[in-house]
Chains A and B, each alone.
Chain A
Amino acid sequence: MNHTATTGGGAQAALREVEHHFDYTGRKLGMWLFLFTELLLFGGLFVAYAIYRHVNFADFHTAAKDLDLVLGTVNTVILLTSSLTMALSITAMQKGNRRLAVWLVALTVLCGLAFLVIKYFEWTAKISHGIYPASPELMKLPQGEVRFFGLYYAMTGLHGLHVIIGMVLLTVMAVVIARKPFRVHSFRVEDAEEPLAGARPAIVDAGGWPLWKGGVIDENVEHLSVVVRLKPGPETIHPSDYVSLENAGLYWHLVDIIWIFLFPLFYLIT
């Protein structure tokens, strides 16, 4: 789609052609549909949590006291901040500021990493105390606490997996955005009156002063074309340039939303 060859008409024609083959709403709708299936996946686990908590009310309160509220709160702040940088990167792209957008996505990934590091310390602290699924230590505890920690590992584990997937997606998107020339125009130099062999191509400024000079053209060259790579700007940026980043961002925000519910249900019910 980005390799739109145009002969005259320039950027406007290219833009219209891109628009013609591109369904912005459709691509976002597809992502939202996928996110809904994710919500229902976690929804099932939340139902399991609700039932077990209802049945083992006191045990859930006792078990929740074992979780580190400070680390849980710090992780909440980290994920909320990562959602902010993610959202800001979309605005930066929409304003044609690709450099800022890439930095903001990188910051988002770093926040995800910080979240996982803290989660790692939380998990290893629990495991070193003998609290992990089916551990002998855990099996001595009341059944309600066993269920609490079972759900804790299952739900934060699945959530952590989503954080990892989100980080991979965003890293790929950052690289794509950083490397991608947003529009490439190719102009064929029409058949020259004289043979090309022996000539040297050059790019000259308005005054005829050479900015760049190429090597001597030999007999094998049959035609020349000029390729122009357009950088995005507020005027030239198109939704097709950032819809993939937006969709990766939607996934990241979903991961944040899941955590918004996991945090009170596991850390705040003491």
Chain B
Amino acid sequence: MEHGHGENGGHVVSYRTFVGVWLALLMLTALTVAVSGVDLKRLSVLTALAVACIKTSLVLGIFMHLKYEDRIFKVMFLVVVVTLAIFIGLTFTDTTLAR
């Protein structure tokens, strides 16, 4: 059974999809560890964070079923991400502009 609907609204994701996501997560981990050996200066933390964001979206979307949830779940998640971004952004204006 591919992404089907359960009897009463629970979304069933196939075992195969989950194993596929897990393999992708392992490969991304291997990638980020391998890249950390290469000196990319300031870029290295950005690539590490980019890989972490891809891994997170896989866990959120598939493992946590967020992809299959109602829109309200996604909107709420976006609100949290934007809040965090504002929080981090405003803090950084302080440290970088104050000197």
Interface residues of A (CB under 8 A from B): 19, 24-25, 28-29, 32-33, 36, 39-40, 43-44, 46-47, 50-51, 54-55, 69, 73, 76-77, 80-81, 83-84, 86-88, 90-91, 94-95, 235, 237-239, 242, 246, 249-250, 253, 256-257, 260-261, 263-265, 267-270
Q: Assuming the A-B contacts A91-B15, A264-B51, are A36 and B76 also in contact, with contact meaning beta carbons closer than 8 angstroms in the complex?
A: yes
Task: Please tell me if the beta carbons of B70 and A25 are within 8 angstroms of each other in the complex.
Answer: yes
Please name 19 pairs of A and B residues whose Cβ atoms are closer than 8 Å in the assembled complex, sorted by A.
A19-B8, A25-B9, A29-B73, A32-B73, A40-B80, A46-B88, A50-B91, A80-B29, A83-B22, A83-B25, A87-B63, A90-B13, A91-B14, A91-B18, A238-B8, A239-B10, A253-B63, A256-B59, A268-B33
Task: Please tell me if the beta carbons of A268 and B36 are within 8 angstroms of each other in the complex.
Answer: yes
Question: A265 to B48, alpha carbons, bound, how many Å?
Answer: 8
Task: Please tell me if the beta carbons of A69 and B48 are within 8 angstroms of each other in the complex.
Answer: no
Task: Please tell me if the beta carbons of B77 and A261 are within 8 angstroms of each other in the complex.
Answer: no
Q: Which residue in chain B gives the minimum CB-CB distance to A48?
A: B91
Residues of A within 8 A of B29 (CB): 73, 76-77, 80
Residues of A within 8 A of B9 (CB): 24-25, 239
Q: Which residue in chain B gives the minimum CB-CB distance to A24?
A: B9
Question: A237 to B8, alpha carbons, bound, how many Å?
Answer: 9
Q: For chains A and B in complex, what number of residue pairs have CB atoms within 8 angstroms? A: 131
Task: Please tell me if the beta carbons of B8 and A24 are within 8 angstroms of each other in the complex.
Answer: yes
Residues of A within 8 A of B10 (CB): 24, 94, 239, 242
Which of the residues A237, A239, A257 comes within 8 Å of B59, measured between beta carbons? A257
Residues of A within 8 A of B59 (CB): 83, 253, 256-257, 260
Question: Chain B interface mostly helix, strand, loop or mixed?
Answer: helix
Task: Please tell me if the beta carbons of A87 and B18 are within 8 angstroms of each other in the complex.
Answer: yes
Q: Which residue in chain A gives the minimum CB-CB distance to B49?
A: A264
Q: Assuming the A-B contacts A39-B80, A40-B84, A91-B13, are A80 and B26 also in contact, with contact meaning beta carbons closer than 8 angstroms in the complex?
A: yes
Task: Please tell me if the beta carbons of A264 and B22 are within 8 angstroms of each other in the complex.
Answer: no
Q: Which residue in chain A gives the minimum CB-CB distance to B1?
A: A95
Nearest-neighbour CB distance to chain B for A262, whole angstroms, equals 9
Known contacts A32-B77, A36-B76, A249-B64; 9 additional CB pairs below 8 A are A54-B95, A77-B29, A83-B59, A88-B15, A88-B18, A239-B8, A260-B52, A268-B32, A268-B48
Residues of A within 8 A of B83 (CB): 40
Residues of A within 8 A of B13 (CB): 87, 90-91
Task: Please tell me if the beta carbons of A237 and B19 are within 8 angstroms of each other in the complex.
Answer: no
Question: A140 to B76, alpha carbons, bound, how many Å?
Answer: 46
Task: Please tell me if the beta carbons of B22 and A81 are within 8 angstroms of each other in the complex.
Answer: yes
Residues of B within 8 A of A242 (CB): 10
Nearest-neighbour CB distance to chain A for B18, whole angstroms, equals 5
Task: Please tell me if the beta carbons of A43 and B36 are within 8 angstroms of each other in the complex.
Answer: no
Question: A95 to B14, alpha carbons, bound, how many Å?
Answer: 10
Nearest-neighbour CB distance to chain A for B53, whole angstroms, equals 9
Question: A46 to B8, alpha carbons, bound, how many Å?
Answer: 39
Which residues of B, 13-55, contact A by the 8 Å Cβ criterion?
A: 13-15, 18-19, 21-22, 25-26, 29, 32-33, 36, 44-45, 48-49, 51-52, 55
